[in-house]
Amino acid sequence: MDTDLYKKLHDEGLISDETLVRIAEKHKTPLFSLHWELKTLLYLGVTLLSTGLGILVYKNIDTIGHQFILLFLAGICAGCFFYCTKKRNPFSRGKVKSPSSFYDYILLLGCLSLLSFLGYLQFQYHVFGDNYGLATFIPMLILFYVAYEFDHIGILSLAITNLAIWSGVAITPYRIISNGLFSSDSLIKPYLFLGLLLLAAAYFSESYNFKKHFKFTYHNFGLNISFLALLTGYFSFYESPASFLWLIAVLILGFILYKDALKSKSFYFLLLVILYVYIAISTLIVRILISMDSELAFVTALLYFIGSAISLIIALIHLNKKIKEI
C-alpha cells in the first residue's frame, strides 16, 4: 500500500503521529493469503477420508456386513447432496459462484461416495451383470449432470476420466509393462476420438456460452489426449509409409490449436502445442539422420538439438510478448 498518502494526511494534520506510526508498523508485516494452502488441505482431507473409508471397509468386511457398508456409503452420499442442494445458488448458463469452499468439498465427497457405492454394488452384487460398459456409463452420466448442475470443475474432471474408462481408453499398469505403451494399436483410435470429442466440447462450450469456463478443462484433456494418440500412431507405424500421415495430422491439429491459443491468449496451451509439434518434427529429423548412418549425421543431430532448443526458447519468449500485445 502507498504510505505517501498517509504521510500527506499527517502533514496536513488530518492524522496524528501515533496513527501514522501504527500504519507504518502494520505495513512492515503485511498479511498474506492462505487461500491455496487451505484449498489444498481440504482436497487432501476429502481424498484421505475417502481412502480411509475404503481401508476401513476392506479390513472389516467380515464383521461389518455388506448391507451396512452400502447403507453407510449411501447415507454419506445422500447427506452431502442434501446439504449442497439446500446451499446451492440457482443454475445459470454462466459461472455460478460457490456459496463457500466447504460446499465444494462436501459436493466432491458426495460424488466420491457415490462412485464407491456404485462400485461396491457392482462388485458384490453384480447389479449390472457382466455389462461393465453400463457400470461405468451410469456413473459418468451422473458425474456430468452434477458437474453442470452444481457448476463444479473438479467433478467435471472426474466425469471426463470416467468417460475415458467407459470408452475403453484406460491402460492398466500391467498392460503397459507386458505389452509396451506403443504396442496397443487398438487404443489409438479410441484415444484420438476421445481427444477430438473433448476439443469439440471445449469449442461448443465457448461458442454457445454454456458453462464457458469449462472450456479450459475440456481443452486441456482434449489437447493432451489427441496429441498423445497421434504421436502413438506415428511411433507405432514408424516403419510404415503411413507414419507420415500421422505426422501430417499432428501438424494440422497443431496449427488449428496454435491459432486457438493465440485467439484465447493462452500461453499454457501455446506451449503445449509447440512442444508436441517439436517432438514430432524432431523425431522425423532424427529418423532421417539415422538413415544416413555416418559420423556427420551424428554431429548434425547434436547441433540440431542444441540449435533447436535455443530457437525454441527464443520463439516462446517472442510468442509470450505477442500474446500480451494482442
- What distances in angstroms separate CA 165 from CA 66, 113, 133, 140, one per listed residue? 26, 18, 9, 9
Cell of 189: 483410435
Residues 145 and 235 in one domain: no
Query: What pLDDT band is residue 36 in, cutting at 50, 70 and 90?
Result: low
Cell of 92: 445459470
pLDDT value of residue 46: 65
pLDDT in tens, 86-97: 999 999 999 998
In a domain, residue 131? The reply is yes
Residues 84 and 195 in one domain: no
Comparing CA positions, the residue from 42, 37, 64, 40 lying closest to residue 53 is: 64
Residues 81 and 191 in one domain: no
Task: Quote the number of domains for the chain.
Answer: 2
In a domain, residue 7? The reply is no
pLDDT value of residue 29: 59
The residue written with cell numbers 527464443 in the block is 314
pLDDT value of residue 166: 85
For 46-55, 294-303, 314-323, which range has the lowest pLDDT when averaged over its residues? Answer: 46-55
In a domain, residue 160? The reply is no
Residues 83 and 193 in one domain: no
Kindly tell me if the per-residue pLDDT of 202 is higher than 80.
yes
Q: Residue 283 belongs to what domain range?
A: 167-326
SS3 state of residue 80: helix
pLDDT in tens, 60-86: 666 667 777 788 889 989 999 999 999
For 8-22, 23-37, 170-184, 212-226, which range has the lowest pLDDT when averaged over its residues? Answer: 170-184
For 54-68, 98-112, 200-214, which range has the lowest pLDDT when averaged over its residues? Answer: 54-68
pLDDT value of residue 182: 46
Cell of 109: 465427497
pLDDT in tens, 140-174: 999 999 999 999 998 999 999 999 888 875 554 44
In a domain, residue 135? The reply is yes
User: What percent of the chain clears pLDDT 90, i.e. is strictly above it?
Assistant: 44
pTM of the prediction?
0.79
3-state helix, strand, coil in the chain (%, to 5): 80, 0, 20
Q: Where are the beta strands (DSSP E) in the chain?
A: none
SS3 state of residue 279: helix
Comparing CA positions, the residue from 11, 7, 35, 37 lying closest to residue 23 is: 7
Q: Which of 122, 150, 178 is the last residue of a domain?
A: 150
Q: Which residues contact 302 (CB under 8 A, 6 or more apart)?
A: none
Average pLDDT, the chain: 83
In a domain, residue 25? The reply is no
Comparing CA positions, the residue from 149, 41, 184 lying closest to residue 102 is: 41
The residue written with cell numbers 500461453 in the block is 267
Residues 109 and 227 in one domain: no
pLDDT in tens, 237-294: 877 777 889 999 999 999 999 999 999 999 999 999 999 999 999 998 988 888 887 7
Residues 177 and 270 in one domain: yes
pLDDT value of residue 151: 95
Distance between CA atoms of 185 and 175, rounded to whole angstroms?
A: 12
Residues 134 and 68 in one domain: yes
Q: Which of 117, 150, 183 is the last residue of a domain?
A: 150
Residues 310 and 196 in one domain: yes
Are the C-beta atoms of 160 and 221 separated by less than 8 Å?
A: yes
Residues 84 and 227 in one domain: no
The single-letter DSSP state of residue 212 is G
pLDDT value of residue 279: 94
More confident residue, 265 or 30: 265
The single-letter DSSP state of residue 14 is S
Distance between CA atoms of 162 and 158, rounded to whole angstroms?
A: 6
Instruction: Report the residue count for the chain.
Output: 326
The residue written with cell numbers 454394488 in the block is 121
Residues 220 and 322 in one domain: yes
